[in-house]
Amino acid sequence: MAGSKSSDGGARRRRTRREFLARSGAAALGAASATMVVPHVHAAGDETIRIALVGCGNRGTGAASQALSTEGPVVLWAMADLFQERIDGCLASLGRAAEGSYDRAARESLARRVDVPRERQFVGFDAFRHAIDSGVDVVLLTTFPHFRPEQFEYAARQGKHVFMEKPVAVDVPGIRRVLAADQVARQKNLKVVVGLQRHHDVIYRETVQRLHDGAVGRLGLLRCYWNCAMDRKLDERPEGMGEMEFQMRNRYFFTWLCGDHNVEQHVHNIDVCNWIMNAHPVEANGMGGRQYRNGREHGEIFDHHFVEYTYADGTKMFSQCRQIPGCWNTVSEHVHGTEGVAELSPARGRIAARGDDWSMRRAKANPYQVEHDVLFDRVRNDKRHNEAEYAAHSTMTAILGRMATYSGKVVTWDEAMRSERALVPDRYAWDGTPPVVPDENGEYPCAMPGATEPV
């Protein structure tokens, strides 16, 4: 389980850059083969951690800001994206954040922590490799979920510590790839944090611990929700824009890029249920469809999913996500045990059991910041830390649910994990062909329960 930021501050003995990186390298050499790349070493006395940002949209900009706000010397050293304008926009946003700080020292510190000249700004499908190979120590992987497995695999092979956003894949072959890369990362003692930030939220940590201690007795049912009003549409296609670029600029509407919203978004709630259970489900069945967003301007994804998951001990988890205006909205998790109930959300944790009512409201610590504080603390002090496996299992749980809703069939974990269906284009190029294309009427083919096979 992830920890919280160390509080011993200045009393903690600082290692030099050479010491903490060399120690990671020594651990790697002891466990990994000679062909593996281990964390590189810089000049003694330089403690600065260099960062590569891969994926420079809104989430990438936020992650970069949080990484640059961690304790100790750190610098944004390289950036990669499919589009130069996103790199430019990210740098502009970071600059505005520095200029807008009321704290002069903080403003100057943030400005000093960004050093990305044009020659370390990389654009294109292979840009992530150039950024990772540019002499950095930590890589932030915040691009589309489709690309996460390959990018994590490459970062681990090159001996880089990683922060990667959720979900960590969009299909089963991607999950297997992440799990294999995780073994490389563990052999090299690389630190890995995943953007399932509830693991770094004091409300969730305290509530889940109480549940693990038996606060509501034996668990029998879990419920989780991400229901929201979302009325987004595909952008208008500019004259001459190819299908690959059009989908890349509208990734939320295509399963191969985002996984559908039950994977891209609802994975947070599913992850909490797996965390509470200390397990992943073994079976899923469900239903879903396109009730509101059902036109050609809505791509191929569903606007609602409902899944009944079953864990190995028979415990059920009901998972519901919906993106339809005018409906009941909630982002929360609920637990029913033999001796009480619990509710969790980003705003509050509550347990009612045995006549007692315990609750906790949000503390000041921002879990998005804490997860970066944890990563950089573990790197600086060479403490083992890796969140990739549980993130892969939670992502796979969400994919399992999508298999059930798309197909209308009962799907087991074991049969799902044998899937060879990879959601990939014919090649990664602007004139390549995505795995789904519109028909002559501009309609994208969509999953049809009863006809679509689990993928």
For 404-432, the pLDDT digits (tens) are: 999 999 999 999 999 999 999 999 999 99
Rounded Cα–Cα distance for residues 271 and 280 (Å):
9
The length of the chain in residues reads 455
Average pLDDT, the chain: 90
Q: What is the pLDDT of residue 436?
A: 97
Q: pTM (2 decimals)?
A: 0.89
Assigned fold of 9-198+368-386: Rossmann fold (3.40.50)
Model pLDDT for residues 162-200, shown as the tens digit of each residue: 999 999 999 999 999 999 999 999 999 999 999 999 999
Residue 340 vs residue 7, higher pLDDT: 340
Q: What does the block give as tokens for 213?
A: 């201690």
Q: What is the mean pLDDT of residues 75-93?
A: 97
| pLDDT given at position 80 | 98
Between residues 328 and 28, the one the model is more confident about: 328
Residues linked to residue 58 through DSSP beta bridges, in sequence order: none
Tens-place pLDDT, residues 149-165? 999 999 999 999 999 99
Per residue in 360-372, pLDDT (tens digit) is 997 778 999 999 9
- In this predicted structure, the answer to whether residue 20 has a pLDDT above a threshold of 70 is no
Q: Name the segment(s) of the chain with CATH classification 3.40.50.720.
A: 9-198+368-386
What per-residue confidence (pLDDT) applies to 31? 36
Confidence of residue 266 (pLDDT cuts 50, 70, 90): very high
Q: What is the pLDDT of residue 193?
A: 98
CATH 3.30.360.10 in the chain: give the residue spans: 199-364+395-417
Confidence band, pLDDT 50/70/90 cuts, at residue 96:
confident
> Domain 199-364+395-417: which CATH class?
alpha beta
CA 3 from centroid of its chain's CA atoms = 18
Nearest-10 Cα torsion for 137, 141, 146, 151: -10
- Where does the pLDDT of residue 99 fall: very low under 50, low under 70, confident under 90, or very high at 90 and above? low
Share of the chain above pLDDT 70, in %: 87
CA distances from 334 to 1, 71, 147, 273, 373 (A): 21, 35, 32, 9, 29
Q: Token pair for residue 185?
A: 């990362």
Q: What is the pLDDT of residue 102?
A: 53
- Looking at the chain, the whole-number percentage of residues with pLDDT higher than 90 is 83
Measuring CA to CA, which residue among 202, 138, 181 is closest to residue 392? 181
pLDDT score recorded for residue 355: 82
